[in-house]
Amino acid sequence: NAGVTQTPKFQVLKTGQSMTLQCAQDMNHNSMYWYRQDPGMGLRLIYYSASEGTTDKGEVPNGYNVSRLNKREFSLRLESAAPSQTSVYFCASSEKGGELFFGEGSRLTVL
């Protein structure tokens, strides 16, 4: 049982490049989330999807887009990466506001 799988685990980008972080869960959860974590800042919500077919902005959505491809997959896209987007990104899933299950994280550096 893989739980929540994120790819890639590490990525280095140049300013202005684009990339997509992929996330898939095999727990049949309805809700999925993208967080970023910076030193001393805790977990900040970028976007979430309460159920298949819906997405909503979180606390820090600027510079990001998301797609809920199906119930299993929720991707995060950076259209034009900026150094301020250097962070660790976590995907998570849950069922009706219960426990969040996190992926292993994706460490992104933007030069």
Partner 1 sequence: QKEVEQNSGPLSVPEGAIASLNCTYSDRGSQSFFWYRQYSGKSPELIMFIYSNGDKEDGRFTAQLNKASQYVSLLIRDSQPSDSATYLCAVKSSGGSYIPTFGRGTSLIVHP
| Interacting residues toward partner 1 by CB under 8 A | 31, 33, 40-45, 48, 50, 58, 90, 94, 96-100, 102-105
Please identify, using beta-carbon distances, which residue of 17 and 45 lies nearer to partner 1: 45
Of 49, 81, 45, 43, the C-alpha closest to 63 is: 81
- Structure-block tokens of residue 29: 């959860």
Sign of CA dihedral 56, 37, 9, 14: positive
C-beta of 104: minimal distance to partner 1 in Å? 6
Please identify, using beta-carbon distances, which residue of 75 and 93 lies nearer to partner 1: 93
C-beta of 40: minimal distance to partner 1 in Å? 7
C-beta of 30: minimal distance to partner 1 in Å? 8
Phi, psi of 9 (to 5 degrees): -85, -30
Are 86 and 21 in contact, with CB atoms under 8 Å apart?
A: no
Please identify, using beta-carbon distances, which residue of 17 and 55 lies nearer to partner 1: 55
